């Protein structure tokens, strides 16, 4: 399997940051006229941008030798749609069709969107799908890597841990589990509902080698993914510490900002905030979730 080699240059780091900013703009614009899961999408942006730009090998969507990415926490799909619009996999104008009945740009991944490998939405399912693809690659002697991105709240699903036991037993070292560890599930903190920590120890007790990194640092991600798979014969988990609503201080790490539906005027204000501009009318109190 290929590995990420070398250091991330300042230019590459800045290019990734610029791309993430454009994707965040797309997500914010999708948070109206029906809304979307804005907070979780913003926490996942940097991870998804890094994976597609620097880690995953996808020369063509139908290339049998390609790597596979499965977004198991499907409510983060605005981040994926937003990236695809910037990289040309879908027309940017299509993002305006979000939630419209004449398109497939919806709240969860849909295989009718080029680049989406599998439908998701019901949490806890796609690890098993990814395992099947990883096992198939092993049987064929192919070098495909399979990355499954999950939410930390999703780890409450028993199917996740059953899957890890099987993946470890099958020695699927071509399988990578990426955790968006934003410490929230819906409108409550994970540690207040069903505590997950110590997460690395739990992964490793199920035969999954784990590493924890800053999920908003491209340098940190580059260093970590250059070591994947970690030592051992089984899968790897990369736990990415993130912040829900990253980029928008007025909604960051707020339990009541998991799903947002803003007015066009509020979207304008949020875009200003995203770029560090201070809009006189913009306060956390004036932003209304509908």
Q: Is 53 domain-assigned?
A: yes
Which residue, chain included where needed, has tokens 């064929």? Answer: 140
- Residues in Cβ contact with 107 at an 8 Å cutoff, skipping those fewer than 6 apart: 36, 37, 74, 75, 77, 99, 121
The continuous run of DSSP H or E covering 267 comes out as helix 264-274
Measure CA of the first residue to CA of the last residue in the chain; give whole Å.
47
Residue 27, domain CATH: 3.40.50.970
Which residue, chain included where needed, has tokens 């991330």? Answer: 8
Condensed to tens digits (0 to 9), the pLDDT of residues 24-64 reads: 999 999 999 999 999 999 999 999 999 999 999 999 888 99
Sign of CA dihedral 133, 136, 138, 141: negative
The Cα 13–Cα 2 span in angstroms is: 21
Chain CA centroid to CA 67, Å: 16
Query: How confident is the model at residue 4, as a pLDDT?
Result: 53
Question: Within 13 Å and on the Cβ side, how many CA atoms surround 152?
Answer: 33
Condensed to tens digits (0 to 9), the pLDDT of residues 230-289 reads: 888 899 999 999 999 999 999 998 888 888 999 999 999 999 999 997 543 444 444 444
Q: Is 1 domain-assigned?
A: no
Condensed to tens digits (0 to 9), the pLDDT of residues 155-188 reads: 999 999 999 999 999 999 999 999 999 999 988 9
DSSP 3-state of 12? helix
Condensed to tens digits (0 to 9), the pLDDT of residues 187-203 reads: 899 999 999 999 999 99
Q: Is 267 domain-assigned?
A: yes
The Cα 59–Cα 78 span in angstroms is: 23
Q: How many domains does the chain divide into?
A: 1
Q: Is 5 domain-assigned?
A: no
Strands 209-214 and 68-71: unpaired
Domain with 223, as residue range(s), is 10-274
The Cα 257–Cα 7 span in angstroms is: 36
Query: How confident is the model at residue 7, as a pLDDT?
Result: 84
Q: Is 133 domain-assigned?
A: yes
Which residue, chain included where needed, has tokens 């988990």? Answer: 237
Q: Is 283 domain-assigned?
A: no
Nearest residue to 43 (alpha-carbon basis) of 195, 197, 153, 129: 153
Which residue, chain included where needed, has tokens 């797309």? Answer: 26
Query: How confident is the model at residue 5, as a pLDDT?
Result: 57
Compute, in degrees rounded to 10, the torsion defined by CA atoms 134, 90, 81, 102.
Answer: -110
Q: Is 230 domain-assigned?
A: yes
């Amino acid at each position: 399997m290929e590995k990420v080699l070398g250091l991330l240059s300042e230019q590459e780091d800045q290019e990734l940051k610029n791309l993430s900013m454009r994707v965040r703009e797309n997500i914010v614009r999708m948070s109206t006229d029906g809304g979307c899961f804005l907070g979780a999408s913003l926490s996942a942006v940097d991870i998804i941008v890094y994976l597609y730009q620097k880690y995953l090998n996808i020369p063509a969507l139908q290339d049998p030798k390609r790597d596979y990415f499965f977004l198991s926490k499907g409510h983060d799909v605005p981040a994926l749609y937003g990236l695809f619009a910037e990289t040309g996999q879908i027309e940017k104008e299509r993002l305006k069709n979000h939630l419209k009945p004449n398109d497939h740009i919806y709240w969860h991944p849909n295989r009718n969107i080029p680049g989406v490998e599998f439908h998701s939405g019901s949490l806890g399912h796609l690890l098993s799908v990814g395992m099947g693809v990883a096992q198939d690659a092993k049987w064929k002697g192919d070098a495909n890597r399979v990355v499954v991105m999950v939410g930390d709240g999703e780890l409450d699903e028993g199917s996740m841990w059953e899957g890890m036991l099987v993946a470890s037993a099958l020695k699927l070292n071509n399988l990578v589990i990426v955790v968006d560890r934003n410490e929230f599930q819906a409108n409550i903190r994970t540690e207040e509902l069903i505590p997950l920590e110590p997460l690395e120890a739990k992964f490793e007790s199920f035969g999954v080698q784990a590493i924890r990194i800053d999920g908003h640092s491209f340098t940190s991600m580059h260093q970590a993914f250059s070591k994947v798979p970690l030592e051992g014969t089984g899968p790897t988990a990369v736990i990415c510490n993130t912040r829900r609503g990253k980029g928008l201080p007025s909604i960051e790490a707020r339990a009541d900002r998991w799903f947002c539906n803003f007015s066009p005027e509020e979207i304008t204000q949020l875009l200003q905030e995203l770029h560090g501009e201070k809009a006189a009318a913009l306060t956390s109190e004036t932003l209304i979730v509908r």
